[in-house]
Amino acid sequence: MIYMLDTNIIIYLMKNRPKIVAERVSQLLPNDRLVMSFITYAELIKVAFGSQNYEQSIRAIELLTERVNVLYPNEQICLHYGKWANTFKKQGQPIGNNDLWIACHALSLNAVLITHNVKEFQCITDLQWQDWTK
């Protein structure tokens, strides 16, 4: 199984709280993969640039990417994005642009999106998601 970690889950892992998130990671099977979207990676770098200790933040991100692979765009992401962006536009239902890209990245891989931001993602009916904070 491929598990795509949303930005909030990665931050929880980096801070080791809530501890249940790290516990869930430790329960994964050997063939399970932890990944993050390039969008999540960019959001983490943005946070690092805004932090008081840039070098320490960047080093923590580098260490994390040794375990959680960063995945980059493919054509399928764009197809999912086109579909869902227009669906939400027609419905007048806003969703954060980065969140939509992350969801479409997960859809393109048939991955389970791991997030605590359930409200933002539950409207994407094709998306598999889980909240590992519960």
CA distances from 110 to 13, 22, 54, 105 (A): 23, 23, 34, 9
Contacts of 52 (CB under 8 A, 6+ apart): none
Report the pLDDT value the prediction gives residue 22, as an integer from 0 to 100.
Answer: 95
Other CB atoms within 10 A of residue 43 CB:
19
Pairwise CA distance, residues 9 & 115, whole Å: 6
Tens of pLDDT, residues 76-130: 999 999 999 999 999 998 889 999 999 999 999 999 999 999 999 999 999 999 9
Q: Taking the domains of the chain in order of start, what are their residue ranges? A: 2-130
CATH number of the 2-130 domain: 3.40.50.1010
Report the pLDDT value the prediction gives residue 94, as an integer from 0 to 100.
Answer: 82
Tens of pLDDT, residues 10-46: 999 999 999 999 999 999 999 999 999 999 999 999 9
Report the pLDDT value the prediction gives residue 127, as an integer from 0 to 100.
Answer: 98
126 labelled ligand-binding = no
Write down the H helix ranges in the chain. 7-15, 19-26, 38-50, 54-65, 75-91, 97-109, 118-121
32 labelled ligand-binding = no
Residue type, 129: W
> pTM (2 decimals)?
0.95
